[in-house]
A and B are shown apart, each in its own frame.
Chain A
Amino acid sequence: MSVTSLPLANRRSESRWRALAWYDWVLAGALFITFVAALYTAFLWAPTEAVQGDVQRIFYFHVSLAWLAYLSFFVVFLASLLYLWRRADHWDILARCSAEVGVVFTTLVLITGSLWGRPIWGTWWTWDARLTTTLILWVIYVVYLMLRAYTTDRARGARFGAVLGIIGFADVPIVQMSVVWWRTLHPQPVIEEGGLPPSMLVTMLISLLAFTLFYIVVMRQRLRIELMRDEIERLLEEAEG
């Protein structure tokens, strides 16, 4: 159905989630270009690391995914605080969507880390401080999503979710600092210490940009789904009423 055939209020409601706008296409184009650039620089432009060899190229995606996971959970933290303060549903929706995306990123961090660890450390997994705290982070937000999925009272679920979203974020600085606070197999921070050669740093930044755009694109889709669910709920209520 075309938007113009709808009544005015319907059009306003649909405009919040309707088919892709021009900036969505700009975002999709930018995402495609940056991902191609990220792959090109990671595989063909960045130099091969002297000790680890080509397998070190996992680093560019692995670290970008980890940073985006931190960003996702920071958005959950911030949106949860704002929800408890303002009690506005859109903050809760934002937190829930960002938690889901953060769990996807953290899952990939754990998988890529394991695939990197096998040839370098000789093991898929070890109960090292960085790995363990990252696994705990993943569990916290999986529990968050389960809590949201199984709580039937929406307001109550939002309140509990917000509290967990705030407390759970405490693990993010612990994950980040774990390699400094404890002796671990995991390498120390090299980017913050300025230990990366410029070509590797540029490759890393392009990869980070690509994943940041991916986060924005996915969040827009995820929020659109929530708005559509709200619309269905409203239409069903009207049908019953």
Chain B
Amino acid sequence: MPAQNLVYLFAAYTIVWVVLFGYLLFLSQQVGDLRSQIEALRQRHRDDGAPTTPGEMHG
């Protein structure tokens, strides 16, 4: 096989790794951002003295 064909093999595996782990990283960052938002909202509820869960509201 011509050696330049190895470039295609290398490119294919590199792209797969970059895309898959980039996607996983993107999801992890989203989890982190959402967690911060939830904490901030809960803190605001606590500061306002409002219930933070349906259980607290009805119970």
Contact = CB atoms under 8 A, between A and B. Distances in A.
Interface of A: 1, 7-10, 12-13, 39, 52-55, 57-58, 61-62, 65, 104, 107-108, 111-112, 115-116, 118-119, 214, 217-218, 221-222, 224-225, 228-229, 231-232, 234-236, 238-239
List 6 tightest A-B contacts by C-beta distance, closest first: A53-B1, A9-B55, A9-B53, A228-B34, A235-B41, A115-B12
A1 B39 CA distance: 8
Contact of B13 (A13, A52, A61, A224): A61
Interface string B4-40: 1110110111011001100110011011001101110
Contacts of A118: 8
Contacts of A235: 38, 41-42, 45, 52
B53 A225 contact: no
Contacts of A65: 16
A203 to B, nearest CB: 14
The binding surface of chain A is classed by DSSP as helix
Given A1-B39, A53-B5, A112 B15 contact: yes
A236 B16 contact: no
Contacts of A54: 1, 5-6, 9
Nearest to A117: B8
Q: Which DSSP category, helix, strand, loop or mixed, fits chain B's interface?
A: helix
A232 B9 contact: no
A229 B38 CA distance: 9
B50 to A, nearest CB: 7
Interface of B: 1-2, 4-6, 8-9, 11-13, 15-16, 19-20, 23-24, 27-28, 30-31, 34-35, 37-39, 41-42, 44-45, 48, 50-57, 59
Nearest to A49: B1
Contacts of B38: 228, 231-232, 235
17 contacts: A7-B53, A9-B55, A9-B59, A10-B42, A54-B1, A54-B5, A61-B12, A108-B19, A112-B15, A115-B11, A115-B12, A228-B31, A232-B38, A235-B38, A238-B45, A238-B57, A239-B48
A112 B12 contact: yes
B52 A232 contact: no
Contacts of A225: 27, 30-31, 34
B18 to A, nearest CB: 10
